[in-house]
Amino acid sequence: MSHIHPPTVDADAQHLESLGYKPVLRRRMSRFGNFAISFSVISVLSGCMTLFGYGLGHGGPAVMLWGWILVGLGVLGVGAALAEVTSAYPTSGALYFQAEKLGGKNGRLWGWYTGWLNLLGLLGGIAGIDYGAALFTGALLNLQWGIIPSNTTIMVIFVCILALHAVLNLNGVRLVSVLNSVSVWWHVIGVAVIAVALWLVPSHHQNASFAFTRFVNESGFDNHLYVAALGLLLAQYTFCGYDASAHLSEETKNAGRAAAQGIVHAILWSWVAGFVLLAALVFAIQDYSGTLNSATGVPPAQIFIDALGVGPAKVLLLVVVVAQLFCGNAEVAATSRMIFAFSRDGALPGSKLWHSLSERTKTPVAAVWLAVIVALALALPSMYSPTAYAAITSINVIGITPAYAIPIFLRLRSRRSFTPGAWSLGRWGVPIAAFAVIWVAIVTVLFCLPQTSPINVDTFNYAPVAGIVALLGAWVWWRVSGRHNYKIPSAPVPTGSTYDRV
């Protein structure tokens, strides 16, 4: 006698429906794939490399190495607290959805401003990552074919990289997941190859005293403590973007646990890999002034050339460039899902367009294109201002980092009513959340401050201006449209419902 078994209940889809959303994205990402996207976005071969020159002039080796340890600890606290909240609310909207659910009677406003800060940070992340990749590509082209990396040349390369990432993301989450999985091993092996080469090949290395105590101040400011604090930007910028695991949770299997683990594990392994990379670079510096003022435009390339020779330097630069391309591709994926979710809930101008999906790949095509076009606009000032790139990285930090803290703060405020998901910090949840909020408050203020002296039109830190403009724009759009059209679902999807905000 045959037995007919009832269909297996999709726990992920059921959980998403209990949060009010109909599953429309394809859930094809594994736990490793979810970890891989955050690890790829953090990308020590992107953040550490692109801001290495900034670190050389804002504190030098001592601040870069000790700062990496300090910031890594702070970010791990923030990430763990965010992971706990993400486990309870695994949706593509992530931070703004969490803020609204935990925000009480003012939940809509908490969610609204969190979403806009998160979006600003993610868009700044694409601009910073891909423009950094363009700078390193320019250095590689200069070494290989003698092409002068002018501002115009770098911008053309940047546009090509953005277009590549758009095309790759239009082919569905399965390709994105595969590329991110490859990215993990590329980063791990790449860091190992760079570290071993810089340790074994050069005949001269700096000593431990140089690496851990040498302080350098090329900022123009006299206060060394202030300059050391500014130097933390290298690490804090690198450790941005781990919310990617949350934004891809609607496409991840066992999302309540996998997305939370993806956040924490990405931070931990990046912390280790980044320290190894920075230490290898610092110990291998042959000429500090020559490195800081490298003709290639990217100081790590000068370290490779001085320590290994031009041939090996080209190979290592290629390793770095490919890693940065992986990083930018993952950031575009995360940002497009944020745009998809935010417009699904009626928050963006033209929302109906931005959350439309491709029939073939179930990918938010319009959201992908919007992400890369806005990133291009953010990076355009880099053609004219030498400090604009540092401002882009600061935009990423001061946009996305407060967005991390808001749902954590609200979880802290509603600690008696908060119901943890499959992944929980247990009794450590409250103290870690409190630490995370304090840490974010400090770094947000820090990166709104001037970074170079004297302060003028060319050296002014425009990041807080961008933040204020974004918040002002969010307030205006709230008055015009948001208070009427922005709404996340407050009840489970009814059986047979087709709710998807279309």
Is pLDDT of 438 > 60?
yes
Is pLDDT of 204 > 70?
yes
Q: Enumerate the H helices of 284-350 as residue ranges.
A: 288-292, 299-308, 310-344
Give residue 143's pLDDT band: very low, low, confident or very high (50, 70, 90): very high
User: What number is the average pLDDT over the span 333-342?
Assistant: 94
User: What number is the average pLDDT over the span 106-114?
Assistant: 95
Q: Of 65, 78, 42, which is closest to residue 439 (Cα–Cα)? A: 78
Mean pLDDT for the chain overall = 91
Entry pTM: 0.91
The token pair at 378 is 């953010």
Question: Per-residue pLDDT tens for 23-71?
Answer: 988 898 999 999 999 999 999 999 999 999 999 999 999 999 999 999 9
Q: Identify the bridge partners of residue 262 per DSSP, sorted by sequence position.
A: none
Cβ atoms within 10 Å, residue 6: 5
| Predicted local distance difference test score (pLDDT) of residue 386 | 64
Of 444 and 314, more confident: 314
Q: What percent of the chain has pLDDT over 90?
A: 76
Cα(310)–Cα(210) distance, integer angstroms:
25
61 burial type by CB count under 10 A (0-12 exposed, 13-18 middle, 19+ buried)? buried
Is pLDDT of 301 > 50?
yes
DSSP state of 482: I
User: What number is the average pLDDT over the span 366-375?
Assistant: 96
